[in-house]
Amino acid sequence: MTDNDLEMERGRAQAMHSFGEANVVDMGDLGVTAEVRPWRNSYEIDDIDKERIVAEINNRAERHQNRTTGDTWDDLTSSDIDIYQVYRSIETRLFPTIFYCEDCKKIHSTAREYPQQLPSDGKCEVCDGKLTQLSFVNVCRCGRLEDPSPPKPCSNHAFEDYRIQKTSSGPASWRFRCNKCGNSMGGMSKSCGVCNEMDGPLPTASSRIYYSQRFVRANIPLVDIEPEEMPTYQQWARVLAAVYLGYQDPDDMTIEELATEEGKSSQFEEMVEDGEDPETVKRILEGMGIPLEGRGLALEDTEHIVPFDAQKEFHSEEADRKLAWSNTSHALFTFMRTTDGYDGDPEKIKQLDYPNPTDLEIYTSDPEFRSDHPQSSRYRDQLNKTNISQAWVVDQFPLLNVLYGYSRGDPEPRNTDLKRFTHPRGKNTVPVFADRAPSEAIVLEIDRAAIINWLVANDLLDESAPEDSRYSVPDTSDERALKEWFLTNIATTELENPFADIEDEITEAVYTLLHSMSHCLLARAGEQCGLATDTLGERVFSNIPAIVIYASTTESFSIGSMSTLFKTRLHPWLSQARDLAEDCLLDPACSEDTEGAACDACIHISETSCEFFNHSLDRRLLEGKDKITGFWEPAIQNSSERTSDMNSIDEETE
């Protein structure tokens, strides 16, 4: 047995998810754990928007404590990073290299100052007993990782012959002892030489050993605008919100142009106040090529739009508030471009991987499509029962999965140092790993009124609360008011870390509802489109609210699968997704789990497909149980049903 490199073949998505450099991973059939070595088998990506990526990394790096790594992450620029894509081959080394004999407890190791080769046959050199890896490690929040070897040598015999003494109290009380003189050599715990603190011994399967610091973004390119021309995330988010909410409807410019054009609305208003004819002023300004619309007017229109977690009362740290605006702009731009498409000259995006959406109504309103697919008459009813207001299929949905570092010991960034990866080419710049591919996707806009009514039914919103209270109920007949409520009441920064609790109860309820719904949909999508579930992925935009189910593989056999599902199998897909929430093979144990009714027998999916590591799931929120009113229960009215009721009232009045 040696500690030479062990090579693994892994898909890029799986590597990005679980096999980052310095993680400790299970080697499966080999029965040992190993540490992932630096990703040297990588190639550089040049044609990517480094400005947007480095801005995102800066926002996230600022959230870490960075006592020992601050110099690495201070004000990164695009020239400070290199972006690479990893190959499928991942190299590891045996870790920890501390083994003990199951019979005589003798330690065999290559980890100390007197290294010895581990026996190649896996047998003890003294008694021929079976060797077992001592699968524990110690971690520090500065990022340091240590094996469980003795903290000190025997004063008489160093590391010549020592044994492990196990106790019934558990690994924390196990001790190493010299077999020759009986001197104690300490336990498996260590102290960090830099921070004087360390957590351990932890089993190598502990989630506290490694937290991948990564993000997934829809990599939709900006058109005709250089990244450095874009305004701050806050201004960009509010310009997008102005269009999304209908305050701005620019006819002659794209959203990007609206964000970068200052506009002359104030000049127009001044001239009108001086007695000039508005139409004359407008013609004059337009003839001079001076647009009235622009960023200034959009910012005025949306001055009241502030995400809940962008307020100082929620986050005292500026980095967290900046991230809230960044998340808002990303959600809005992604949703608008993947449902409305590009709003400029189509010639400008011919050579780009740009989202090409088709609304379901385009198909269902086509007589020829209805004739070819008679089952499409059931689509609207299935959407209503699932509380989905609109649906789109999107060709060339551009995903970008970015891995930029890791941390240890605590899921909260503010308690840890962000560690960088080793550069594949030995440079001083910070390496960032990315995986990108155009994909097919289905975008589902969830009925906002239904979610509000569900929150009221479960006592999370109060119809008697004052209007200025966060717990008051918005007007469910006013679509703009509903959109504004979701933009300003969902704390997206609470959803950055699946290993940390979601502290805001409204955010937790809405995200867990949507995430559970997404899993029901994703788990049943594979059966209908012919793709394995682990080749599908999800994105949940709680502040829209919307769910994206996409094909994460670009193999030729997958092309068209999501489109086929969308056009021909929508009705059984949605129906089976609802059925999945009702029962589990492990009920009643699963349905009575206080952590949430979700397990491998029902709505858990592959962690490479789930954006939140199978956390924040509870199918009871969908179907209801005991005191929980389910989102899919008939009692929850959606906007379609409300419109139908209003029409009935109007007819009776007539």
Q: How confident is the model at residue 556 (pLDDT cuts 50, 70, 90)?
A: very low
State which amino acid sits at residue 109.
Answer: S
Q: Is residue 310 part of a domain?
A: no
14-to-25, 397, 431, 519, 540 alpha-carbon distances in Å: 12, 20, 19, 19, 20
Range of lowest pLDDT (102-116, 363-377, 436-450, 529-543): 102-116
What would the two tokens of residue 19 be?
């096999």
Range of the domain at 631: 334-646
Q: Is residue 307 part of a domain?
A: no
- pLDDT of res. 291: 59
Q: Give the residue-averaged pLDDT of 589-615.
A: 92
Counted domains in the chain: 3
Q: Is residue 313 part of a domain?
A: no
Q: Is residue 435 part of a domain?
A: yes
Q: Is residue 558 part of a domain?
A: yes
- Strand-by-strand arrangement of the 162-165 sheet: 162-165, 175-178, 184-186
Q: How many angstroms from the chain centroid is the CA of residue 254?
A: 28
Q: Are 271 and 301 in contact (CB under 8 A)?
A: no
Q: Kindly provide the b/e burial profile for residues 50-81, where b requires at least 16 CB atoms within 10 angstroms of the residue's own CB.
A: bbbbbbbbbbbbbbbbbebbeebbeebeeebb
Count of other CB atoms within 10 angstroms of residue 576: 17
- pLDDT of res. 132: 94
Q: How confident is the model at residue 267 (pLDDT cuts 50, 70, 90)?
A: low
What would the two tokens of residue 365 be?
């309103």
Query: Is pLDDT at 29 greater than 80 in this prediction?
Result: no
Domain identity same for 279 and 403? no
Phi, psi of 95 (to 5 degrees): -160, 135
Residues 6+ apart with CB under 8 A from 651: none
Instruction: Map tokens 């010549």 to a residue.
Output: 160
Query: Is pLDDT at 293 greater than 70 in this prediction?
Result: no
What distance in Å separates the CA atoms of residue 483 and residue 476, rounded to the nearest whole number? Answer: 10
- pLDDT of res. 642: 60
Q: Which of 301, 325, 354 is the last residue of a domain?
A: 301
H, E, C per residue of 353-411:
CCCEEEEHHHHHCCHHHHHHCHHHHHHHHHHHHCCEEEEEEEEEEEEEEEEEEEECCCC
pLDDT tens for 166-216 read 988 889 999 999 999 999 999 999 999 888 889 999 999 999 999 999 888
pLDDT tens for 95-106 read 999 999 999 999
What would the two tokens of residue 141 be?
């929040």
What distance in Å separates the CA atoms of residue 218 and residue 239, rounded to the nearest whole number? Answer: 19
Q: Is residue 315 part of a domain?
A: no
Question: Kind and range of the H or E element at 86?
Answer: strand 81-86
Q: Which of 213, 233, 257 is the last residue of a domain?
A: 213
Q: How confident is the model at residue 2 (pLDDT cuts 50, 70, 90)?
A: very low
Query: Is pLDDT at 421 greater than 90 in this prediction?
Result: yes
Q: Is residue 432 part of a domain?
A: yes
- pLDDT of res. 198: 93
What distance in Å separates the CA atoms of residue 359 and residue 370, rounded to the nearest whole number? Answer: 15
Range of lowest pLDDT (100-109, 344-353, 411-420, 538-547): 344-353
- Rg over alpha carbons for the chain, rounded to the nearest Å, is 29
Domain identity same for 144 and 285? no
Domain identity same for 114 and 238? no
- pLDDT of res. 649: 41
- pLDDT of res. 201: 95
According to DSSP H, which parts of 100-207 are helical?
A: none
Domain identity same for 481 and 618? yes
Q: How confident is the model at residue 286 (pLDDT cuts 50, 70, 90)?
A: low
Give the closest residue to 149 by CA, choosing from 196, 123, 116. Answer: 116
Q: Where are any strands of DSSP class E within 447-591?
A: 536-541, 546-551
- pLDDT of res. 557: 41
State which amino acid sits at residue 331.
Answer: A
Q: Are 230 and 350 in contact (CB under 8 A)?
A: no
State which amino acid sits at residue 356.
Answer: N
What would the two tokens of residue 414 be?
């503010």
Which tops the pLDDT comparison, 276 or 533? 533
Give the closest residue to 178 by CA, choosing from 128, 106, 112, 124. Answer: 106
Domain identity same for 237 and 282? yes
Residues 6+ apart with CB under 8 A from 185: 150, 151, 152, 153, 154, 162, 175, 176, 177, 178
Domain identity same for 297 and 344? no
370-to-361, 365, 367, 575 alpha-carbon distances in Å: 11, 8, 5, 20
pLDDT tens for 76-87 read 998 999 999 887
- pLDDT of res. 653: 47
Domain identity same for 194 and 235? no
Domain identity same for 239 and 202? no
Range of lowest pLDDT (52-66, 335-349, 556-570, 621-635): 556-570
Query: How many alpha carbons fall within 13 Å on the CB side of residue 598?
Result: 24
Could you please report the per-residue DSSP string of 261-326? ----HHHHHHHHHTT--HHHHHHHHHHTT--S-SHHHHHHHTTT---GGGSTTT--SHHHHHHHHH
What would the two tokens of residue 27 be?
């080697």
Proportion of the chain above pLDDT 90, given as a percent? 61
Instruction: Calculate the average pLDDT of the chain.
Output: 88
Domain identity same for 464 and 563? yes
Domain identity same for 460 and 520? yes
State which amino acid sits at residue 4.
Answer: N
- pLDDT of res. 15: 80
Q: Give the residue-averaged pLDDT of 614-635.
A: 95
- pLDDT of res. 114: 44
Domain identity same for 265 and 397? no
Q: How many angstroms from the chain centroid is the CA of residue 395?
A: 21
pLDDT tens for 472-487 read 999 999 999 999 999 9
Domain identity same for 266 and 153? no
Query: How many alpha carbons fall within 13 Å on the CB side of residue 196?
Result: 0
Q: Are 434 and 87 in contact (CB under 8 A)?
A: no
Q: How confident is the model at residue 285 (pLDDT cuts 50, 70, 90)?
A: low
Q: How many angstroms from the chain centroid is the CA of residue 121?
A: 44
Q: What is the pTM of this model?
A: 0.78
What distance in Å separates the CA atoms of residue 23 and residue 25, rounded to the nearest whole number? Answer: 6
Q: Is residue 318 part of a domain?
A: no
